[in-house]
Structure 1
Amino acid sequence: MMTALATVLDVQGDIVVVGCQQKSSCNHCSSKDSCGTGIVSKVLPGKVHHWAFHTDKKLTIGQMVEIGLPEKNLLQSAAIVYLVPLFFLLFGALFSEWLISPLMGIGEVTTIIIAGLSAWGGYFFAKHLSHRIEQNTEQQVSLVRVLGESISDTISVNAAG
């Protein structure tokens, strides 16, 4: 099971909604200042993932918690996102090179265009498949431990006292 830190966003009875900032692996190497990817990751904010789950513990909005995520679903989703468009690209290129180009007598431009369109279709297919896996993952998220109160609550208590 993989763990992640999350912030409690909403509490409705025994259902808790948490948000977790997606972290990039950038900014951890020595060339982060000269790398184009590192510069872009500083400018664009990360995606926030939301999960809802049942718990018996009393939580308040703003608390930090550690949640557990199933590794199998995350690895499946990553494999789908990377491999499906690649397979579509290769299939489109081979299909065009072996069938369409010889029949029409057109050169490599047709193969490149069909391969690109196939990869684009593979991207949308992978997005659909990964969305289904993500919904399945939402049902398996669990609360590992409660880390503490929200920072804003601590500051307001210290300011008042």
Structure 2
Amino acid sequence: MTASIGMTAGHWLEATARVDALLREGARVSVLTQSGCAGCASRKGCGTGLLATRRKARPRQLTIETSSDLTVGQTVRIGLPARRFLQGALAIYGLPLVTSLLAGGAAEAWLAPGHPLVPVAFLAGLACGVIGLALWGRCQPGSYRPVLLDPSPP
């Protein structure tokens, strides 16, 4: 996926995908992996080439909602607003981190420093953050799904 600089409403993370199946609500697509640049091919640089070789065994499949007329095997361009991607990443990493640090800090403050229950409280806070994240994700089922940008990319 490619990212644009900045976080305005017009910036998208984009990828090219192939339509695998037509569904009642849209289509199931497989994201086509990028092979990387010459630096990735020589296993130097960012590592996109290494990740692409490891992912060849199982392509990423997504369901997109669309009313466009698509055909199986067609190449399409899908995208996710950059702001939504950032919000999702902050939620996935931030919520469990904050709840675990709060629980561990509270246990450290209430119990003696170095008490054996402090790590247990930290792990309980981490579990509460993960459960909270799962519940939050159920309230926003379609907010973090890619959308069809162009049914026929160049």
TM-score of the aligned structures, taking structure 1 as reference length: 0.63
Structure whose residues are more often helix by fraction: 1
Residue 6 of structure 2: aligned partner: none
Displaced runs of 4 or more, over 3 A:
20-24, 43-47, 130-134
Residue 126 of structure 1: aligned partner: 133
Are the equivalent residues in 1 in contact too, given 2:17–2:32 (CA < 8 A)?
Answer: no
Residue 135 of structure 1: aligned partner: 142
Unaligned runs of 5+ in 1: 149-161
- Among all aligned residue pairs of Structure 1 and Structure 2, give the percentage whose two residues are the same amino acid: 18
TM-score of the aligned structures, taking structure 2 as reference length: 0.66
Which residues of 2 match residues 39-58 of structure 1 at below 5 A? 42=54, 45=58, 47-55=60-68, 58=69
1:134 deviation in Å? 5.0
Q: Which has the larger radius of gyration?
A: 1
Unaligned runs of 5+ in 2: 1-11
**Bigger relative CO (Cα 8 Å, ≥ 6 apart):** 1
Which residues of 2 match residues 5-84 of structure 1 at below 5 A? 5-11=16-22, 16-21=26-31, 28=40, 30=44, 42=54, 45=58, 47-55=60-68, 58-84=69-95
Are the equivalent residues in 1 in contact too, given 2:18–2:31 (CA < 8 A)?
Answer: no
RMSD of equivalent CA atoms: 3.6
Amino acid in the other structure paired with 1:4: A
Equivalent pairs, count: 134
**Residues in 2 aligned to 1:66 and 1:97: alpha-carbon distance in whole angstroms:** 50
1:82 deviation in Å? 0.8
Give the direction of change, closer, same or farther, for the CA distance of 1:143–1:74 in structure 2 (3 Å limit).
same
